[in-house]
């Protein structure tokens, strides 16, 4: 599987499987591309090309000390798409990957992308701002960052418990924990500060492609009222689809439904 060298020399891992219409997956914090395993299985059988990117600091990508901003992530995505000669793709971003996706669409003028799928996105704003009092208080997010500094293993376990509305097996929870532990500690901290502080509202005006927002109504991490609903209103060609039996982790809460939705949208 290829490792693509970004403009600053960091190697970014991408798994490129199948043929057909491409779907590019951007994972959430603090996981990696393997979180989409049960999407790949369905979509590959449906004849799609699935490209999963490990953002720098996560999974099999290099883990440098330094910048973990949305700009940096978006530039890495562009390097991967150019190297793999991707065009006409559906860009699917989950949580922090959703923030990366909306920044990519603005920063890189929607290059290579024909459709945008946002899954429980950490976009456009998570925490309150002077003109956005609806956001979460920073005190809701900071314990995750402090936990990553002091006991990342426990923080990952606690965060996994926040993800789902439906019951998951102990083995599934252990697997989710293990994905988080593949990340670097510094990336975990720095990118959490990124999604805590970011204001991506200006990017919404630059998104013109058909956009679907898939969001669990029970999401406690990126509540639908401050993310999905705001994106639907702010992106010209967007539709919000509510998952009535999902929390943040809709890819596991309602796997069959999200798989069918993605196949229909990307087809």
**Catalytic residue of the set 27, 75, 248, 253:** 248
Annotation marks residue 42 as catalytic: no
pLDDT tens readout for residues 79-100: 999 999 999 999 999 999 999 9
pLDDT (0 to 100) of residue 1: 56
Helix segments in the chain, DSSP class H: 37-45, 70-83, 96-107, 138-150, 152-163, 170-181, 185-197, 228-234, 250-253, 255-266
Task: State pTM to two decimals.
Answer: 0.97
Pairing mode, if any, of strands 49-53 and 89-94? Answer: unpaired
Annotation marks residue 108 as catalytic: no
**Catalytic residue of the set 21, 203, 219, 253:** 219
CA distance 52 to 64: 20
CA distance 261 to 265: 6
**Catalytic residue of the set 27, 61, 75, 95:** 95
CA distance 236 to 81: 25
Provide the CA 225 distance to its chain's centre, in angstroms: 18
CA dihedral 22, 53, 25, 23 (to 10 degrees): 0
CA distance 49 to 267: 11
pLDDT tens readout for residues 154-192: 999 999 999 999 999 999 999 999 999 999 999 999 999
Tokens of 183: 């990340």
Annotation marks residue 248 as catalytic: yes
Q: Closest by alpha carbon to 183, among 84, 78, 246, 96?
A: 96
Cβ atoms within 10 Å, residue 178: 12
pLDDT (0 to 100) of residue 72: 98
CA distance 20 to 160: 33
DSSP string over 183-195: S-HHHHHHHHHHH
Q: Which residues contact 21 (CB under 8 A, 6 or more apart)?
A: 47, 48, 49, 88, 89, 90, 266, 267
pLDDT (0 to 100) of residue 67: 95
- Mean pLDDT by runs of 10 across the 267 residues of the chain is 89 97 98 98 98 98 97 98 97 98 98 98 97 95 97 97 97 98 98 98 98 98 98 98 98 98 97
Give, in degrees to the nearest 5, the angle at Cα 34 between 30 and 176.
Answer: 50
């Amino acid at each position: 599987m290829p490792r693509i060298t970004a403009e600053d020399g960091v190697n970014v891992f991408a798994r490129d499987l199948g043929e057909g219409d491409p779907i590019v997956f951007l994972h959430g914090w603090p996981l990696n591309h393997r979180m989409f395993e049960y999407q790949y299985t369905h979509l590959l059988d449906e004849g799609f090309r699935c490209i999963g990117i490990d953002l720098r600091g996560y999974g099999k990508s290099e883990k440098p000390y330094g910048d973990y901003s949305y700009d940096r992530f978006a530039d890495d995505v562009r390097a991967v798409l150019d190297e793999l000669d991707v065009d006409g793709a559906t860009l699917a971003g989950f949580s922090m990957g959703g923030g990366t996706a909306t920044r990519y669409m603005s920063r890189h003028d929607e290059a290579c992308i024909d459709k945008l799928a946002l899954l429980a996105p950490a976009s456009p704003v998570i925490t309150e701002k002077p003109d956005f009092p609806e956001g979460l208080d920073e005190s809701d997010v900071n314990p995750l960052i402090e936990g990553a500094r002091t006991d990342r293993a426990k923080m990952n376990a606690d965060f996994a418990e926040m993800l789902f509305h439906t019951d998951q097996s102990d083995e599934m929870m252990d697997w989710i924990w293990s994905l988080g532990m593949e990340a670097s500690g510094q990336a975990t901290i720095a990118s959490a500060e990124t999604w805590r502080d970011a204001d991506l509202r200006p990017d919404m005006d630059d998104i013109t492609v058909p956009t679907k927002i898939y969001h669990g109504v029970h999401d406690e991490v990126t509540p639908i009222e401050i993310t999905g609903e705001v994106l639907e209103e702010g992106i010209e060609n967007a539709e919000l689809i509510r998952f009535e039996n999902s929390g943040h982790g809709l890819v596991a809460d309602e796997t069959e439904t999200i798989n069918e939705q993605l196949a229909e949208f990307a087809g």
